Amino acid sequence: MKKLIVILVAAAAMLLSAFNASAQDIILTRDSQIITAIISEINHNEVIYKAYDNQSGPTYKIAISQVQKIRFANGIEQNFATMATITTEAPAEPAPAPQQPSYNSGPVANTPIVGHMEHSHGDFELNGRRIYEGEYHNYFNADEYSTINGAVRQRNAGKGLLIAGGVTTGIGILFTIPWWIFCMEGDYDYMAWAFGMTGFTLMGTGITLMTIGSPLYCVGNSRLNWVADNYNQRNAMTFNVVAGRNGLGLALKF
């Protein structure tokens, strides 16, 4: 029985470590270093992130030319190995003052590329290319950006509750196994009662967390899908019949 308890504790520890690992981004550098991080932005020149084990600490930057691959917390990978690594040195210039991004308050955002927008795993892709948060002001108007912020928080809260609920339920099931063994052997004592109560309490808590998290996750996803659909509707190509001096003609709008 002691061996069984040790195995159950080890399995619970593995479930908890899997829960912690699921929320981190992995940066693999060209010199084979592995950085566990929470990435906040990726632009044309650098990756901006915080250390996973010190998320309230300083913000770090690493040049894109030093990055080989990034594996995001949602499982998506982005490979930078094919990007050119040769850069030319330029004289240092004073850094411009930071500017707050401005969002178009009208029906159409300032979109540099027309294409099909898709929402996938909490991120947006335009023509198959991931759109990072620092680029949102180039594609979405103010209403869409506000919806994205709220929907991402809602989706992440739901995802966290689902993961926590799944882990808690799994640990609860592990605790009920020795309770079941005690009952089968007819040796129902205080230890068996403690295992059973702990297991069923954890299982109930886990199911409750998943019940709360599931609608949050689904509604957040639905709102992000709405943003992608709204972008596509705004930028869809349409044909209109217009009248001119020389007769009727077709006008292409996109």
pLDDT the model gives residue 99: 55
In 3D space, the residue among 54, 52, 56, 53 whose CA is nearest the CA of residue 72 turns out to be 52
Alpha-carbon dihedral of residues 164, 169, 171, 175, nearest 10 degrees? 160
Surface-to-core class of residue 130, CB atoms within 10 Å of its CB (0-12 exposed, 13-18 middle, 19+ buried): middle
pLDDT computed for residue 143 by the predictor: 86
Structure-token pair, residue 33 = 């270093």
- Please state the φ and ψ torsions of residue 197, each to the nearest 5 degrees: -65, -45
Q: Is it the case that residue 253 has pLDDT exceeding 70?
A: no
pLDDT of residue 215: 93
Please say whether the structural domain 24-83 has been given the CATH code 2.30.30.100: yes
pLDDT tens readout for residues 152-162:
889 999 999 99
Q: Return the pLDDT at 96.
A: 60
Count CB atoms within 10 A of the CB of residue 188: 13
Write down the pLDDT at residue 97: 57
pLDDT in tens, 178-221: 888 878 877 777 888 888 889 999 999 999 999 999 999 999 99
The CA-atom distances, in angstroms, between 90 and each of 87, 93, 219 are 9, 9, 48
Q: Is the pLDDT of residue 25 over 80?
A: yes
Q: How far is CA 45 from CA 31, 48, 63, in A?
A: 18, 10, 6
Beta-strand pair 67-71/34-42? unpaired
The answer to whether 37 touches 50, Cβ cutoff 8 Å, is yes
At which residue do the structure tokens 């917390």 appear? 73
Is the pLDDT at 52 greater than 70? The verdict is yes
| pLDDT confidence of residue 17 | 57
Q: How confident is the model at residue 223 (pLDDT cuts 50, 70, 90)?
A: very high
Residue 131 has pLDDT above 60, yes or no: yes
Q: What is the rounded average pLDDT for all residues in the chain?
A: 77
**CA–CA dist 174, 199 (Å, integer):** 7
User: Which alpha helices (DSSP H) does the chain contain, by range?
Assistant: 2-21, 136-139, 142-185, 190-234
- What Å distances lie between residue 35 and 23, 39, 130, 175, CA to CA? 14, 11, 21, 35
